[in-house]
Amino acid sequence: AQRVTQPEKLLSVFKGAPVELKCNYSYSGSPELFWYVQYSRQRLQLLLRHISRESIKGFTADLNKGETSFHLKKPFAQEEDSAMYYCALARYSGAGSYQLTFGKGTKLSVIP
Amino acid sequence: GAGVSQSPRYKVAKRGQDVALRCDPISGHVSLFWYQQALGQGPEFLTYFQNEAQLDKSGLPSDRFFAERPEGSVSTLKIQRTQQEDSAVYLCASSLTGPADDLAKNIQYFGAGTRLSVL
């Protein structure tokens, strides 16, 4: 069965410090991974996905198949980065369906 | 439309009552998903529609949960005889294409959710 693990419930960093939000996954197929973010009083929104290989709001994430990880990183945290972050893994079924499996989330708090 | 719209935003039900939650996906989106998010947890998949066809209902926790999308647009999630363990935020998401299509177009866009409290 597929699983996504985010080991930290809460991560506090000072403004300007580097950030790393950890995500590990287990999946027997070829993984497709995402990071979703939920700012206060806003809906869940896509931050980035590994197939795009892009940097969004200064965040990057590299898929490491050897370590089955997809950690989210940013070199210098900003106060506006404070939010709930969810790592998610897509699973495709033979019946033409697909779904996202989410981790439990990490709340990032950036201290001014 | 501006995005995925869900109603009501909040619903309080007495144990044993039936509830119906509505989702209006982004216009033209083929795929529609329902997720359940319990307090302190990440969203968990309930069911998936491609147009009007319900292709996957493997995540529905019991036969008290039923979802439909009769015309391939608006969807309703119905919960019969609600129990306290049904209390959660119910999220709807839609994506432009189905899973076999262009991966760049199957991004899931989420609604704000319906918070269900069963007393």
Main-chain dihedrals φ then ψ at residue B65, nearest 5 degrees: -100, 130
Q: 3-state DSSP call for residue A79?
A: helix
CB contact residues (below 8 A), chain B span 1-60, against chain A: 3-4, 33, 35, 40-45, 48, 50, 55-56, 59
Contact assignment for A49 to B107 by CB distance below 8 Å: yes
The DSSP secondary-structure symbol of A89 reads E
Summarize pLDDT for B38-82 with one digit per residue, the tens. 999 999 999 999 999 999 999 999 999 999 999 999 999 999 999
**Residue contacts between A and B (CB atoms, under 8 Å):** 61
Contact assignment for A98 to B48 by CB distance below 8 Å: yes
Percent residues over pLDDT 90 in chain A: 73
CA distance B16 to B14: 6
pLDDT at position B103 is: 63
Contact assignment for B42 to A102 by CB distance below 8 Å: yes
Q: CB-side exposure of A30: number of CA atoms within 13 Å? A: 2
CA distance B15 to A50: 43
